[in-house]
């Protein structure tokens, strides 16, 4: 069947189509249509063809049923239209509608209408109109003719629904009025009730009749009371909310669709107008009820205007009622309406100043009076809502979760508002919960920063009121992510500085966890605050008895920024020592990069507290500084190797002798040392004891290790000598290239090694800057021999090009006697003052711009050399020394000052060096004196003659207006500078504490000054019994003034750690002071028992050094120093300043170790022990090298005229093929007086020309002086004609001038040498007798004016004894001649008489004067 009706020919043949479709039964319509649709799609039927089939089917079925319609009841119609015809409704037309009966019951009719309504949405407009016009309208008109209401129902709305369904829109008001006569009441106001008007409102909306709607709305506006409005809206609500389970179901009511939107808005406006009109004339409750119903129905029609028209003069109850009415509808409002409603409420409560909050509960108030609109409360609104005076009270009534809700962290970013709210939320416990809640909501780091900044002050100020566990919760949990935002401004506040210890320590730990989050600047800022905290109050602050983790708890990783001085300011040193060994702190320090001074200080604390600490627990960065004071003497073998491996990273400088020496004991404990060990040691190899090198290391191992050893800096000569000798003895060839490979070991070469090199090799080495840099550090013998070899292979005029600039000091004076120099070359060379003095005059003849001269040349200044300069040139020369650190001796300064001031002191004093100002002042004018003394204070006052410093100081006192009773301020002390060295004891006591720092530059003190300094030290640092190592370091060089009783009071461990380094420093800088300190220290130990001593080990010797001198008596040395330890440490022990009794003990022990004789390699280690040997013992020594002779002489404290020196030299000369040469004379120069005349006589003249060191003949006998002068004169006889008693010749001969003959002295006078007085007094008095007064004037030059100061000297006395008063008067000496003169004729001699009585001596002088004057006047008249 389906296939047949889809054929085109069937569809186009109506008769055939009807015949086929008539066979489809009513119950099969749905199945047929399903099958038809499928087949039609496959047959590609058009929509018109499909519609033709379906329309024909509907017509066929209606015609077949028509005869049975009269029997149909409501149910049959329902089934027919809702089931069978359901999909064919759209095909009804006028013709087919007329097939439906109109004489059926209302129920049957309504069933058909419902069926049509179900298919309403499938109908086109024409079909809708047809159904209404040709079925509904006809049926209802027929029914209305018999009554007032066609098919009446229980209500008007149900009547419309049942009888019109969705076709109401097709009906006109007139037609409805015909079908329902009740609608005519709208025109009869007398009978129209508000309820009727509600019905008409619905009808007008349903039929979409604008006129009717307008009439209805106008009627509403005419309501005369809220009662009428109430009846209307209640009835209207019954329609609008008919689909709701409850009229209060706002959502369903507001969106029910009963009223069309346009009509609904108009109705809403009308009822709103009426409602507002009767605000003042109705009860509040009645008005609110109407408002509630209206909002219930018209939520979607609410406008901002409507909200704005709500009454303003309301009560709290009304406000509550209004929001309650809107509450259920609030979600339906647009955002603008919601805001308008919220602003209405906010405005009211702001104006009302929250008077409605009777309970004092902000959240209850908001819940009650804002309900759903509370979601719109912003932080700003919350603040504006609450009166400022109530802000804290109201906000603190909120629970944390409510406060967080109002902060709106997800959307609000207003820092100011958050700050205001959170800063007034002062309950710290609640604030903690707020933070916890915010911590969950905040996703942006910027919010953490904002909240932290706000909360921090409240937390800090409340920290004292919360328990410890909550403080830790704040720091460890709450602030864990936000503490990284902390700033200096947040930390550097009084509440933090004054916080309790729990707060502070929790802060430190949290800041330490986030250390890496901060910039370097912030880390420094944080530390500065921690520093302020710890420096306030008791020290150490926040210390709990028994808890030594103080540094860990209170500084933690911020120790990184702590200086030694800072740490000292936090606690007394005793406590710091205790803290330093804490395991937690030590483990922390292992991870930190500490400041250098703190490393040093921490090491000091550590080792003072426990010098026996296991090395494994000491942090690597501290071990480097602690090793020097740790007891490691018992460490050996593999443990020693492990320790050395740790120390390799220390990067000790070559000057860090204390630390390097500490390594010695570790190295000496190794039984065997391989080349791998040496390579592994790196820079620590410098700690190899000489004895270990000589006895434990094979020469071949050293050869293999040259690369490693040559790069090590800091070798001593004895170490280097031991290494090099073993290397060379292992067949290491001496060539230029091989010597270069020695690197820093070059200083260990012997002079004989250099002697074997040819000129080519020598010049090759001289051109190698690295080699010559190392050579500069070598002993004088090696340097001198090297330079002489260079000179031997060089033409005299080019030696300044070939001799390295840094070795120029070894060029003999004889090579400097040339007529001209390449100034640019010699300017760069390192000259000694005596060398520069030789050629200084020659330089002055070549140079006019003295500012180009180097300090090395300018130090050769002598007045004699500058004699020929005019005044301007002389001034220019002296000024050129300014700013160049030119070191001049007092004799040079004294002379130049006399010439500078011969016409008065120069006015431009600031152009001269400070040392010169010592001699050309003082300048006392108020306008310049302070500047002058500031400059003088920087000068070396040791250059002044005794008493001159005091005179300058007196002038400075006047300038600075310092009275005897005054305290000298720090500012004035800084101006005085080195002049403070002459302050009186009382001035020292009264001075500012800075005086202690200022006095450290002084080289010596009087006894009274020492007492004053000690008093000042006690005032500043407390009793000496309380002094720590740090105290001693602060006292520094002033420790030299301490007497034995003071030393006795200082803690033993403090002295043990401080004094070794201090003594070494004093020994290098101030030998006299060093000796004095030793005496004071030794005074306390002389009575100690022999058994009362610790065994001396290599470790102890390396660390204690000269302190051993005072801690071990001779008896104790004998008892506590083993022979093996002596042998292993001979080099060190020989260098110590032992007293003779102690040295004798060492010598006797050595005799036991070496019973026959000492090998040469050990002789160079003897040092101060050497003078203990007798001449007979010395005669058994093997001194084959000039280097050995030099080591024996230079490393011991010989008296320069000691006969043992003669024995040493003889022993050296006894070596085959050894004779005097320039090198040997160079090292003998200071000791030349120790040689006997026979030995001196054996020195060839030519050797004197090859020595680079001036001879010191001060302690020689006159005969030796004469001999040495004659030798020197003979040495330069070949140059005599050229020199011709020149200034250069004088400078060369000056050191031996004590042996000069009178003719030599007169020769020197002809060159105007400006001889200084000390040289003059060193002349042979017997020879001086034979020179004239003019000779003396010419010799002294500018120094002549000071001649009276030496009038009592042997030289002057000898000269006086042979010269007349006339000659004496020429020199201006205030002395009487020793020679009686015969007076010429005509002279009257007055013999002095002794006064007895009568005329006074004054009258006698007056008469004598009168007689002389008369005689002169008579003579004048005669000649006129």
Condensed to tens digits (0 to 9), the pLDDT of residues 754-812 reads 999 999 999 999 999 999 999 999 999 999 999 999 999 887 668 999 999 999 999 99
Alpha carbon distances (Å) from 352 to 314, 386, 396, 514? 10, 10, 21, 49
Q: Take residue 1144 and report the two structure tokens written for it.
A: 């004798």
DSSP 1392: P
Q: How confident is the model at residue 253 (pLDDT cuts 50, 70, 90)?
A: confident
pLDDT (tens digit per residue) in 1130-1151: 999 999 999 999 999 999 999 9
pLDDT (tens digit per residue) in 543-582: 999 899 999 999 999 999 999 999 999 999 999 999 999 9
**pLDDT at position 349 over 70:** yes
- Helices 226-240, 284-298: axis angle to 10 degrees equals 30
| Portion of the chain with pLDDT greater than 70, in percent | 93
pLDDT at 278: 87
Does residue 418 contact residue 385 with C-beta atoms inside 8 Å?
A: no
pLDDT at 1398: 43
pLDDT (tens digit per residue) in 907-944: 899 999 999 999 987 888 988 999 999 999 999 988 88
pLDDT (tens digit per residue) in 131-144: 999 999 999 988 88
Which span out of 275-284, 649-658, 1335-1344 was modeled with the highest average pLDDT? 1335-1344
pLDDT at 96: 93
pLDDT at 1084: 62
Query: Strand locations in 885-973, DSSP E?
Result: none
Q: What is the mean pLDDT of residues 1116-1140?
A: 93
Nearest C-alpha neighbor of 428 from the set 394, 398, 463: 463
Nearest C-alpha neighbor of 751 from the set 1257, 1233, 1212: 1212
**pLDDT at position 722 over 90:** yes
Contacts for 78-85: CB closer than 8 Å, 24+ residues apart: 78/111, 78/114, 78/115, 80/115, 81/111, 81/112, 81/114, 81/115, 81/116, 81/118, 82/114, 82/115, 82/118, 83/30, 84/26, 84/27, 84/29, 84/30, 85/29, 85/58, 85/61, 85/115
User: 180 forms bridges with which residues in the sheet?
Assistant: 149
All residues at 6 or more sequence positions from 759 whose CB lies less than 8 Å from its CB, including other chains:
789, 792, 793
Does residue 924 contact residue 959 with C-beta atoms inside 8 Å?
A: yes
Q: How confident is the model at residue 1389 (pLDDT cuts 50, 70, 90)?
A: low
Distance CA 579, CA 587 (A): 13
pTM of the model: 0.69
Q: How confident is the model at residue 1423 (pLDDT cuts 50, 70, 90)?
A: very low
Which residue did the predictor score with more confidence, 276 or 628? 276
Distance CA 422, CA 426 (A): 8
Which residue did the predictor score with more confidence, 1 or 250? 1
Distance CA 241, CA 247 (A): 6
Q: What is the mean pLDDT of residues 338-354?
A: 91
- Put residue 306 in one of left, alpha, beta given phi > 0 → left and psi -120 to 50 → alpha: alpha
Alpha carbon distances (Å) from 570 to 542, 575, 595? 11, 10, 17
Q: How confident is the model at residue 1397 (pLDDT cuts 50, 70, 90)?
A: very low
**pLDDT at position 1321 over 80:** yes
**pLDDT at position 1240 over 90:** yes
Q: Take residue 633 and report the two structure tokens written for it.
A: 């003497």
Where helices occur in 514-555 by DSSP H, the ranges are: 520-535, 550-554
pLDDT (tens digit per residue) in 462-486: 888 888 889 998 988 888 888 888 8
pLDDT at 97: 93
Using only C-alpha atoms, the chain has a radius of gyration, in whole angstroms, of: 60
pLDDT (tens digit per residue) in 296-307: 888 888 899 989
**pLDDT at position 1413 over 90:** no
**pLDDT at position 1302 over 70:** yes
pLDDT at 657: 59
Where helices occur in 1325-1400 by DSSP H, the ranges are: 1325-1328, 1333-1340, 1354-1360, 1365-1371
- Helices 637-647, 657-668: axis angle to 10 degrees equals 150
pLDDT at 185: 62
**pLDDT at position 1403 over 60:** no
Q: What is the mean pLDDT of residues 738-746?
A: 95
- Start-to-end CA distance of the chain, whole Å, equals 188
pLDDT (tens digit per residue) in 842-890: 999 999 999 999 999 999 999 999 999 999 999 999 999 999 999 999 9
**pLDDT at position 68 over 80:** yes
All residues at 6 or more sequence positions from 1050 whose CB lies less than 8 Å from its CB, including other chains:
1024, 1025, 1027, 1032
Where do we find the tokens 């300090």?
855
Averaged confidence pLDDT in the chain: 88
Least confident stretch, 79-93, 138-152, 1391-1405: 1391-1405
| Portion of the chain with pLDDT greater than 90, in percent | 54
Distance CA 231, CA 366 (A): 34
What number of other Cβ atoms are within 10 A of residue 1152's Cβ?
Answer: 9
pLDDT (tens digit per residue) in 1020-1050: 999 999 999 889 999 999 999 999 899 999 9
pLDDT at 407: 81
Nearest C-alpha neighbor of 1168 from the set 1140, 1137, 1196, 1192: 1196
All residues at 6 or more sequence positions from 1235 whose CB lies less than 8 Å from its CB, including other chains:
1205, 1206, 1209, 1228
For 430, half-sphere exposure in the C-beta direction (CA atoms, 13 angstrom radius) is 16
Q: Take residue 250 and report the two structure tokens written for it.
A: 């706002």
**pLDDT at position 203 over 70:** yes
All residues at 6 or more sequence positions from 616 whose CB lies less than 8 Å from its CB, including other chains:
none
**pLDDT at position 121 over 80:** yes
pLDDT at 240: 81
Distance CA 792, CA 1222 (A): 12
pLDDT (tens digit per residue) in 687-718: 888 988 988 899 999 999 999 999 998 899 99
Does residue 1055 contact residue 1077 with C-beta atoms inside 8 Å?
A: no
List, as one string, the DSSP characters of 483-497: GGG--HHHHSSHHHH
Q: What is the mean pLDDT of residues 1243-1247?
A: 94
What is residue 1270's three-state secondary structure? Answer: helix
Q: Take residue 1189 and report the two structure tokens written for it.
A: 């002779």
What number of other Cβ atoms are within 10 A of residue 927's Cβ?
Answer: 7
Does residue 1211 contact residue 1179 with C-beta atoms inside 8 Å?
A: yes
Distance CA 1199, CA 268 (A): 128
pLDDT at 1400: 44
pLDDT (tens digit per residue) in 1062-1093: 998 888 888 888 888 888 888 765 555 556 78
Least confident stretch, 54-68, 312-326, 653-667: 653-667
Which residue did the predictor score with more confidence, 1265 or 1277? 1265
């Amino acid at each position: 069947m389906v296939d047949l009706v889809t054929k085109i020919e069937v569809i186009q043949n109506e008769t055939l189509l009807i015949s086929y479709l008539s066979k489809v039964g009513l119950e099969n319509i749905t199945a047929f249509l399903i099958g038809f649709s499928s087949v039609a799609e496959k047959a590609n039927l058009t929509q018109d063809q499909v519609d033709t089939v379906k329309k024909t089917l509907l017509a066929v079925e209606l015609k077949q049923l028509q005869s049975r319609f009269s029997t149909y009841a409501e149910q049959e119609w329902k089934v027919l239209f809702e089931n069978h015809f359901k999909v064919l409704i759209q095909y009804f037309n006028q013709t087919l509608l007329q097939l439906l009966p109109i004489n059926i019951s209302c129920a049957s009719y309504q069933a058909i209408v419902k069926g049509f309504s179900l298919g309403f949405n499938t109908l086109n407009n024409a079909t809708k109109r047809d159904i209404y016009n040709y079925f509904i309208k006809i049926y209802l008109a027929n029914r209305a003719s018999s009554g007032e209401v066609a098919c009446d129902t229980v209500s008007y709305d149900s009547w419309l629904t049942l009888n019109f369904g969705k076709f109401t829109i097709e009906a006109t008001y007139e037609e409805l009025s015909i079908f329902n006569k009740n609608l005519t009441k709208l025109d009869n106001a007398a009978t129209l009730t508000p309820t009727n008007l509600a019905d008409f409102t619905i009808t007008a909306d349903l039929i979409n009749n604008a006129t009717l709607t307008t009439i209805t709305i106008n009627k509403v506006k005419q309501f005369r009371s809220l009662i009428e409005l109430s009846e209307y809206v209640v009835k209207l609500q019954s329609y609008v909310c008919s689909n709701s389970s409850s009229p209060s179901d706002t959502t369903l009511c507001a969106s029910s669709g009963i009223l069309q939107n346009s009509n609904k808005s108009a109705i809403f406006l009308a009822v709103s107008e009426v409602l507002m009109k009767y605000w003042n004339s109705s009860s509040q409750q009645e008005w609110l009820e109407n408002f509630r119903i209206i909002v219930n129905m018209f939520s979607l029609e609410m406008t901002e205007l409507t909200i704005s028209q709500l009454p303003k003069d309301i009560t709290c109850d009304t406000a509550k009622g209004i929001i309650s009415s809107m509450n259920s509808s609030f979600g339906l409002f647009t955002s603008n309406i919601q805001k308008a409603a919220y602003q209405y409420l906010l405005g009211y409560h702001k104006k009302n100043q929250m008077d409605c909050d009777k309970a004092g509960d902000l959240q209850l108030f908001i819940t009650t009076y804002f309900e759903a609109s509370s979601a719109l409360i912003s932080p700003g609104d919350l603040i504006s809502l609450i009166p400022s005076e109530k802000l804290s009270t109201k906000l603190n009534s909120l629970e944390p979760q409510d406060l967080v809700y109002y902060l709106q962290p997800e959307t609000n970013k207003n820092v100011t508002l958050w700050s205001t709210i959170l800063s007034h939320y002062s309950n710290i416990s609640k604030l903690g919960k707020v933070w916890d809640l915010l911590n969950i909501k905040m996703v942006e780091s910027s919010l953490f920063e904002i909240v932290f900044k706000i909360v921090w002050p409240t937390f800090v100020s409340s920290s004292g009121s919360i328990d410890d566990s909550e403080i830790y919760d704040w720091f460890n949990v709450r602030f864990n992510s936000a503490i990284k935002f902390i700033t200096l401004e947040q930390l550097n506040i009084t509440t933090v500085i004054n916080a309790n210890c729990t707060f502070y320590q929790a802060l430190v730990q949290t800041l330490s966890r986030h250390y890496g989050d901060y910039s370097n600047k912030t880390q420094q800022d944080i530390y500065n605050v921690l520093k302020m905290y710890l420096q306030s109050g008791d020290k150490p602050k926040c210390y709990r008895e028994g808890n030594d983790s103080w540094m860990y708890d209170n500084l933690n990783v911020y120790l990184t920024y702590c200086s030694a001085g800072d740490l000292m300011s936090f606690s007394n040193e005793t406590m710091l020592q205790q803290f330093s060994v804490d395991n937690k702190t030590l483990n922390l320090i292992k991870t930190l990069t500490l400041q250098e001074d703190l490393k040093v200080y921490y090491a000091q604390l550590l080792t003072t507290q426990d010098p026996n600490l296991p090395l494994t627990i000491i942090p690597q960065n501290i071990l480097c500084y602690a090793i020097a004071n740790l007891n490691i003497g018992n460490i050996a073998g593999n443990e020693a190797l492990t320790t050395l491996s740790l120390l390799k990273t220390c990067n000790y400088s070559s000057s860090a002798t204390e630390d390097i020496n500490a390594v010695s004991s570790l190295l000496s404990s190794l039984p065997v040392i391989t080349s791998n060990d040496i390579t592994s040691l790196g820079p620590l190899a410098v700690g190899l004891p000489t004895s270990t090198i000589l006895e434990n290391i094979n020469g071949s191992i050293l050869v293999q290790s040259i690369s490693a050893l040559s790069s090590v800096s800091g070798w001593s000569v004895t170490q280097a000598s031991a290494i090099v000798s073993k290397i060379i003895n292992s067949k290491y060839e001496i060539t230029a290239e091989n010597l270069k490979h020695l690197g820093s070991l070059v200083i260990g070469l012997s002079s004989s090694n250099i002697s074997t090199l040819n000129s080519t090799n020598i010049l090759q080495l001289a051109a190698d800057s690295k080699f010559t840099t190392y050579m500069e550090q070598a002993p004088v013998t090696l340097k001198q021999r090297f330079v002489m070899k260079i000179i031997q292979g060089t033409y005299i005029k080019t030696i300044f090009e070939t001799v390295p600039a840094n070795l120029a000091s070894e060029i003999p004076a004889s090579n400097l006697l040339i007529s001209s120099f390449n100034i640019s070359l010699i300017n760069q060379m390192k000259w000694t003052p005596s060398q520069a003095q030789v050629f200084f005059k020659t330089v002055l003849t070549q140079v006019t711009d003295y500012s180009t001269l180097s300090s090395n040349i300018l130090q050769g200044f002598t007045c004699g050399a500058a004699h020929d300069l005019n005044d301007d040139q002389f001034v220019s020369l002296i000024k050129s020394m300014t700013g160049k650190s030119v070191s001049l001796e007092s004799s040079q300064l004294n002379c130049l000052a006399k010439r500078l001031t011969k016409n008065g002191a120069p006015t431009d004093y600031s152009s001269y060096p400070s040392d010169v100002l010592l001699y050309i002042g003082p300048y006392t004018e108020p306008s310049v004196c302070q500047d002058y003394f500031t400059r003088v204070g920087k000068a070396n006052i040791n250059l002044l003659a005794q008493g001159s410093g005091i005179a300058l100081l007196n002038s400075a006192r006047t300038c600075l207006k310092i009275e005897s009773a005054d305290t000298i301020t720090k500012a004035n002390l800084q101006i005085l500078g080195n002049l403070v060295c002459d302050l009186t004891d009382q001035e020292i006591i009264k001075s500012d504490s800075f005086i202690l720092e200022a006095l450290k530059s002084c080289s010596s003190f009087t006894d009274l000054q020492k007492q004053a300094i000690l008093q000042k030290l006690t005032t500043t640092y407390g009793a000496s019994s309380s002094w720590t190592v740090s105290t001693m370091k602060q006292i520094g060089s002033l420790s030299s003034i301490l007497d034995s009783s003071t030393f006795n009071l200082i803690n033993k461990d403090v002295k043990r750690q401080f004094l070794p380094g201090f003594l070494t420093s004093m020994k290098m800088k101030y030998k006299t002071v060093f000796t004095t300190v030793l005496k004071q220290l030794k005074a306390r130990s002389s009575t100690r028992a022999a058994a009362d001593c610790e065994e001396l080990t290599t470790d102890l010797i390396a660390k204690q050094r000269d302190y051993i001198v005072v801690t071990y008596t001779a008896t104790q040395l004998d008892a506590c120093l083993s022979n093996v330890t002596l042998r292993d440490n001979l080099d060190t022990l020989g260098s110590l300043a032992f007293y003779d009794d102690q040295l004798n003990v060492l010598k006797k022990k050595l005799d036991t170790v070496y019973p026959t004789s000492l090998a040469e390699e050990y002789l160079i280690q003897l040092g101060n022990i050497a003078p203990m040997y007798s001449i007979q013992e010395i005669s058994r020594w093997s001194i084959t090298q000039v280097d050995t002779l030099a080591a024996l002489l230079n490393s011991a404290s010989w008296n320069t005229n000691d006969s043992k020196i003669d024995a040493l030299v003889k022993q050296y000369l006894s070596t085959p093929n050894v004779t005097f040469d320039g090198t040997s004379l160079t090292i003998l120069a200071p000791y030349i007086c120790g040689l006997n005349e026979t030995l001196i006589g054996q020195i060839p003249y030519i050797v004197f020309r090859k020595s680079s060191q001036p001879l010191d003949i001060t302690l020689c006998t006159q005969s030796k002086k004469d001999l040495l002068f004659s030798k020197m004169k003979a040495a330069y006889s070949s140059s005599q004609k050229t020199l011709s008693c020149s200034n250069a010749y004088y400078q060369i001969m000056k050191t031996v001038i004590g042996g000069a003959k009178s003719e030599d002295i007169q020769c020197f006078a002809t060159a105007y040498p400006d001889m200084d007085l000390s040289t003059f007094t060193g002349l042979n008095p017997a020879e001086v007798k034979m020179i004239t007064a003019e000779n003396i004037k010419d010799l002294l030059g500018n120094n002549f004016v000071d001649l009276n100061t030496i009038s009592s000297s042997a030289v002057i006395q000898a000269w006086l004894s042979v010269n007349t008063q006339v000659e004496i008067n020429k020199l201006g000496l205030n002395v009487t001649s020793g020679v009686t003169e015969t007076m010429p004729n005509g002279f009257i001699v007055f013999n002095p008489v002794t006064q007895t009585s009568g005329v006074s001596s004054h009258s006698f002088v007056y008469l004598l004067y009168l007689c002389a004057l008369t005689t002169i006047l008579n003579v004048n008249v005669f000649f006129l």
